[in-house]
Structure 1
Amino acid sequence: MVVMCNLIDVAKTVGSNRMVQTVSVPYPLGDPDMSPEDDWALRKHRVEVALNSLATEVEEPTVFPTKI
C-alpha cells in the first residue's frame, strides 16, 4: 500500500510503509497557481512515483522522493 499525504510524520505514526509527499492539504496532487500543463505534469509525476513505489521492496517505512 502507498499513502500519498502531506503529513509524512502522521503516516509514519500509523504504520505506513510506503509514503509519497503531496503538495499541500487543500491541493494534494496539484497546484492551482501553475499553468494547466505544468499542473498536469506535477500530478502525473506524483502518481507515477506512487505506482513505482509499489514495485519497490521496502524493509522499513520509506518516503519516496518526488523531485522532478
Structure 2
Amino acid sequence: MVKEIERYGLPIVHMATITTISQSVGANRIVPTVAIPHPVGNPSLPHEEEMDLRRKLVKKALDALQTEVSEPTQFE
C-alpha cells in the first residue's frame, strides 16, 4: 500500500520495528521504531522521557518526508 500511495505523488514514511518487512514491501522512507507492542513509545520510561522519545521519532519521520529518495532509505 505504501508504494501505491507514493505512485500518486504523496510521500510516505513507513515507521516500523521490523525494517526488513518495510524494505520487502517497497517502502522508500523507513524509520525504525522501538518495539512491536509499542512502536512509537516505551511505557517503562518516565512520562517526560517517553514524550521526548515520541517527539524524536515523529521529527525523524517528518524529516524523512522532506527528503527526496530514489530507493528504499532507512532513517536512523
TM-score (norm 2): 0.83
RMSD, aligned α-carbons: 0.5
Instruction: Give distance in 2, aligned partners of 1:21 and 1:8.
Output: 6
Look at both structures and tell me which one has the larger radius of gyration over its CA atoms.
Answer: 2
How far is 1:62 from its partner?
0.3
Which ranges in structure 2 are unaligned for 5 or more consecutive residues? Answer: 1-11
TM-score normalised by length of structure 1: 0.93
Distance 2:44 2:65 in 1: 30
How far does residue 9 in structure 1 lie from its aligned partner after superposition? 0.3
Q: Are 1:41 and 2:47 an aligned pair?
A: no
Bigger relative CO (Cα 8 Å, ≥ 6 apart) = 1
| Higher share of residues assigned helix | 2
Letter in 1 for 2:13: V
